[in-house]
Structure 1
Amino acid sequence: MTSPAADPAASAPTPTATDVPTPGSVTGRRIPAAVWVALGIVYVVWGSTYLGIRVVVESLPPFLSAGMRFVAAGVILLGVVAWRQGPAALKVTGRQLASAALVGLLLLLGGNGLVVLAETSVPSGLAALLIAVVPAWVVVLKACFGERPSAGGLAGVLLGLAGLAVLMLPGLSGEVQTGGVVLVVLGTLAWSTGSFASSRIEMPANPFTASAYEMIAGGLAGLGVALLRGEHHGFDPSAVTGRSWAALAYLIVFGSLIAFTAYAWLLHTAPLSLVATYAYVNPVVAVALGALILNESLTWPIVLGGAIVVAGVCLIVSTERRR
């Protein structure tokens, strides 16, 4: 999972032109090649993070690896922001820092952390499809706080939840561990709550600074949970496989830094309706990579449930963006 909010209707924080190099905003109907390249990065890299997590937890403890990933990525991102925009860009109020920390705990400890733990027993493709239902939970949360969903949004929620029910069949039938499936569902609820909260509390104005503080807070909390779980007992770095270390490095550099930068640049440059398509492309990429690289089986509940979830998310994104 990734750090930007998954609210398909929220106005995401827009970076200024000095945040990242910008070849020019999209005007008219022509979409520059750079936009397609950045969108391709978000599609493929974020879709591949589920595969990366699955490889990491083959020989690295779940919360320890997740904590290491986000602390490292957050510190690097703070350094990049300070280098590109000056140390003043890192200054935030106490309230903003507390808000970023709260969102980081919900997104990265609750959301990502539970998914990392679940992927010790759940295939990466199934995890990605279960997570794809997040936009539906966000619409539900908004409805609970008085924002009436559109007819299309409500239909998308119902489709998403129906797909979620089908996707849970492998756990109910014993094909995968039920506990892992439940962990992913709980992770989607935590992620949805963090996404919903991030647009309604006072966050740092600079989205890169906010993301860095979120990652550091979530990463430190993950390391704390790892200690409480005793993941450090008997941990031998020399016993970790080279591919797990490589996957962790990939998640830090590509998943948490490069793809996020591409996403933030797209928010500033491309139509939001185009950027939002990552929400239903990522799970398809994840399922394909899991099947091709890890030989994960594509059972009928995964194929059918995944198709229903993706259709529901597509409906939510398309209708909510027009509101």
Structure 2
Amino acid sequence: MRFNHLLPLIGALFALYIIWGSTYFAISIGVASWPPLMMAGIRFLAAGLLLMAFLLATGHRLPARKPLLNAALIGVLLLAVGNGMVTVAEHQHVPSGIAAVMVATVPLFTLCFSRFFGIATRKIEWMGIAIGLAGIVLLNSGGNLSGNPWGAVMILIGSISWAFGSVYGSRITLPTGMMAGAVEMLAAGLVLMIASLLSGERLTTMPGLSGFLAVAYLSLFGSIIAINAYMYLIRNVTPAVATSYAYVNPVVAVLLGTQFNGENLSGTEWLALIIIIAAVVLVTLGKYLFPAKSTVLTCSSEK
């Protein structure tokens, strides 16, 4: 690989590994002073408006009606429900590291939905799902989530929605390039702001500097930069490399949460983290680590 191609690859992987991993910590800082749905809505509206303005200013056109509506639906599934549930759960005192561990199960649910859409799966991948489910049960059996079952349920719903949206989005027509991300973020932002209004969220006091910095970081780095980095990776590297963030993000989030946010993980939770990451590795890298045996047919002829 030439040097001019290596730098963008390293930058994109850094964005997914470190930036997406750090967003859980940023969310925990933000929800300390923002209502959760309102904060998520402002995050995606700001990111979507900035990206859309840039695209229109540089000569891009709005997509046709069908791709636009498709992108809006995917935005609701991935960002409004998927990320919105995580934000609400962290507002209800689910530690950011634990939230990231739960979200790491997305590839497991993605594999299940892929099967429903007729995509072939292997036994090693189903073994990964079984191990991952055991890790989820262990994670919820003691520690931070045992006293917060609704937080665990919300993150699971968000993870399932993200997984379904990822699989469904790969089978429908979406706008090309960064326009898809812009439409998705705008749609998610609108839905989240409506949900915030209907749920009665109100700002009782003006958020402090840390609250505004958290939203700015989530909008610019967690949304615009990281989402486009992911789009770059899925066009230029194997799916296994592009989805490898799923088992790096929890480690980054746990380290940030324990070092800077005063979070503590029990021995059971550390074990669950290891089990879930191992399961995700099996699902995402199983076909490379354990390639299917090829059947060689030989024919003999008599002379």
Give the Cα–Cα distance (whole angstroms) in 2 for the partners of residues 126 and 203 of structure 1. Answer: 33
- Alignment partner of 1:58 is 2:68: no
Question: 1:125-164 maps to which residues of 2 (within 5 A)?
Answer: 125-164=97-136
Task: State the superposition RMSD in angstroms.
Answer: 2.2
Contact 2:27–2:90 (Cα < 8 Å) also in 1: yes
Residue of structure 1 equivalent to 2:193: 223
Residue of structure 1 equivalent to 2:6: 32
Percent sequence identity is 37
Question: 1:185-204 maps to which residues of 2 (within 5 A)?
Answer: 185-204=156-175
Q: 1:78 aligns with which of 45, 48, 52?
A: 52
Q: When the two structures are superposed, what TM-score results if normalisation uses the length of structure 2? A: 0.88
Contact 1:59–1:241 (Cα < 8 Å) also in 2: yes
Contact 1:114–1:183 (Cα < 8 Å) also in 2: yes
Residue of structure 1 equivalent to 2:277: 310
Q: How many residues align?
A: 289
Contact 1:119–1:127 (Cα < 8 Å) also in 2: yes
How far did residue 27 of structure 1 move? Answer: 5.9
Give the Cα–Cα distance (whole angstroms) in 1 for the partners of residues 243 and 191 of structure 2. Answer: 29
Give the Cα–Cα distance (whole angstroms) in 1 for the partners of residues 171 and 237 of structure 2. Answer: 24
Superposed CA deviations along residues 165-209 of structure 1, whole A, max 9, x for unmatched, are 1111236974x41111111111111111111210112212x1311
How far did residue 146 of structure 1 move? Answer: 3.2
Give the Cα–Cα distance (whole angstroms) in 2 for the partners of residues 163 and 249 of structure 1. Answer: 34
Q: When the two structures are superposed, what TM-score results if normalisation uses the length of structure 1? A: 0.83
Residue of structure 2 equivalent to 1:119: 90
Cα gap change, 1:268/1:197 in structure 2, threshold over 3 Å: closer, same or farther?
closer
Give the Cα–Cα distance (whole angstroms) in 2 for the partners of residues 171 and 222 of structure 1. Answer: 30
Cα gap change, 1:48/1:191 in structure 2, threshold over 3 Å: closer, same or farther?
same
| SS of residue paired to 2:87 | helix
Superposed CA deviations along residues 229-252 of structure 1, whole A, max 9, x for unmatched, are 1103xx2452x1211111111101
Question: 1:274-293 maps to which residues of 2 (within 5 A)?
Answer: 274-293=241-260
Can you give the 5+ residue segments of structure 2 that lack an aligned partner in the other structure? 293-303
Can you give the 5+ residue segments of structure 1 that lack an aligned partner in the other structure? 1-25
Contact 1:53–1:116 (Cα < 8 Å) also in 2: yes
- Alignment partner of 1:246 is 2:216: no
Give the Cα–Cα distance (whole angstroms) in 2 for the partners of residues 87 and 37 of structure 1. Answer: 25
Larger radius of gyration: 2
Contact 1:52–1:250 (Cα < 8 Å) also in 2: yes
| SS of residue paired to 2:284 | helix
